[in-house]
Amino acid sequence: MTQNTNSSSHPTASLHEGLSPLEERVGRWRVFVGVGLALVTIVYAWAVVQAPVDSSQGIIQKILYVHPPLAYGAYLGFVITAIGGFLYLWRGREDFDRLAVSGAEVGVLFCTLMLITGPIWARGTWGRWWSWDPRLTVTLLLWFVYLAYLLLRSFAGPGPRTARFAAVYSMVGLVLIPLNYYVIEIFDNRSMHPDNLEKGSLGDGMGWPFLMGNLALGFAFVYLLLLRWDVEARRLFERRREAEQDVDQ
Amino acid sequence: MSYLIAAYAVTLGALVLYGAALMRERGRYRAQRKSDSNRRPTN
Amino acid sequence: MNIALAILWKDLITEWRARDRVIAMLLFSLLTAVIFYFALPDQRPETLRALTPGLLWTAYLFAAILGLNRSFALELENEALSGLALAPGGRGWIFLGKMAANFILLSLVQVLTALAFAIFYGIDFGSSIGELSLTIGLATLGICSVGTLLAAMAVRTRLREVLLPILLLPALVPILAGAVRATLSVMAGEELPFSAIQLLIVIDGIYLVVSFLGFDYILDE
């Protein structure tokens, strides 16, 4: 080949490290989020330690500062997956599909941790690891759906077809959330979970450690999401470059 | 108490491990890019 | 519309000539019925009757997965999927044709399986045949709609037969819940529970719309 690789034909390849302007901007945001995460985590650790011990549940109640924030992260991840999938089907931009994968993977991680910390709390207060409580059941089903989502992606291999399959499946997953709640409301309406926290079920002095827990895990969620998005971009870039080299030779 | 510590340890451990794994993969790709861009002008 | 009918007709004719899918599904669900007998804690008639709705629906689900897995196998072997994608006038109609074919085949299997359960477990379905048919019909519509969509995806991945149940079963949990609840009430001689039927209708509606629209993105050239 007389020309020095055909990198100029690829819009992103000429930039440093093959990053698009959007990716470089996201990279900078991620650094800010990382700094915020580090600061908040220190305050969070201190807040959890000095938070008052619950009079009825004992010290195990301090799991409150990690379990619900994980749940919010999990649901946020799944909603991001569905939004990313929808935007991908609509606009066809790869960035959206990467957002969807990142949401699913980080969401599954948060959901797994929620499903681990939940039974630990349940063991300490309800006396058994598992109960078919509505929220537990829905979360477990959701966890299966998004594990299936990730499995579908890995079985279908890389490419736009996989992105479309995954996007359609994430729509199915999204409609399953309200459907499962509907099912449980009809058939199995006995919840062991406390009512919504807005109704003031938090005791004195528990509010701000809880807030710090949400902030810290929220920062962690955003940080991991952006990092995963960045890595997906690099994976795709490497894959394309290898394909180009195969063509060159 | 041990249950509580287990819950926090598992959460922290998993998040840190996941982040570290991503960072490592990212670092590998970056190194690869850098070595490529060093080589390319001399071609 | 004509496309849907053409595909339905083609699938039924193919099945009539080969008869492999229906026979496989049927044998499988009959075997399930037999296996359950040995898996139960005891064989007293009242135990059998109490457990039959759950067992029946479990057999239906597994038979459905077995059949759906083969639903696009022929197209894949002949590389006819891309041809289908090029068919004029909306891929949603292709979906409807495929779904209708799956619905008919699965219904046939379901009727015969119910007969086997009635004989093996001494159950009288006859007295409430109307309510039961309504329940099974609604649930099967939901199973086939989302099942056809996901089968079209799974068939083009590695390990396709393995992937379909993993994708499909979480989506079928709400249908199973409604169908088993309705079947339990009907078999206990009660009235058909409105909430369960309402649930099944809502699920059918949602799944049909999602699958009809989603199928557009599943087929490609």
| DSSP per position, C174-221 | HHHHHHHHHHHHHHTT-PPPHHHHHHHHHHHHHHHHHHHHHHHHH---
Pair of tokens at residue A107: 């969401």
The answer to whether C38 faces chain A, any CB pair under 8 Å, is no
Rg (CA), chain C: 18
Q: Do C153 and A180 touch (CB under 8 A)?
A: no
Distance CA A215, CA B20 (A): 21
Q: Is the pLDDT of residue A207 over 70?
A: yes
Per-residue pLDDT tens digits for C198-210: 999 999 999 999 9
Share of residues in chain C with pLDDT > 70 (%): 98
The answer to whether C158 faces chain A, any CB pair under 8 Å, is yes
Give the total number of structural domains in chain C. 1
Distance from CA of B30 to the nearest CA of A (A): 7
Confidence of residue A13 (pLDDT cuts 50, 70, 90): very low
Confidence of residue A4 (pLDDT cuts 50, 70, 90): very low
Read off φ and ψ for residue A191, nearest 5 degrees.
-105, 140
Cα dist from A79 to A155, A178, A201, whole Å:
23, 12, 26
| Domains of chain A by residue range | 19-193+207-237
Pick the residue from chain A with its C-alpha nearest to C178: A183
Position A249 scores a pLDDT of 66
Size of interface A-C (CB pairs under 8 A): 78
Per-residue pLDDT tens digits for A56-106: 787 888 888 899 999 999 999 999 999 999 999 999 898 999 999 999 999
The answer to whether B33 faces chain A, any CB pair under 8 Å, is yes
Distance from CA of A129 to the nearest CA of C (A): 22
Q: What is the domain range of residue C193? A: 2-218
The ipTM (two decimal places) reads 0.89
Q: Is the pLDDT of residue C153 over 60?
A: yes
Q: Which of A66, A70, A109 sits opposite B18 (nearest CB)?
A: A109
Position A189 scores a pLDDT of 57
Class of domain A19-193+207-237: mainly alpha
Share of residues in chain A with pLDDT > 90 (%): 45
The answer to whether B16 faces chain A, any CB pair under 8 Å, is no
Confidence of residue A188 (pLDDT cuts 50, 70, 90): low
Per-residue pLDDT tens digits for C21-54: 899 999 999 999 889 888 888 878 888 888 888 9
Q: What is the mean pLDDT of chain C?
A: 88
Q: Give which of B25, B28, B29 to mutate to test A binding, by max A Cβ within 10 Å.
A: B29
Distance CA C35, CA C156 (A): 32
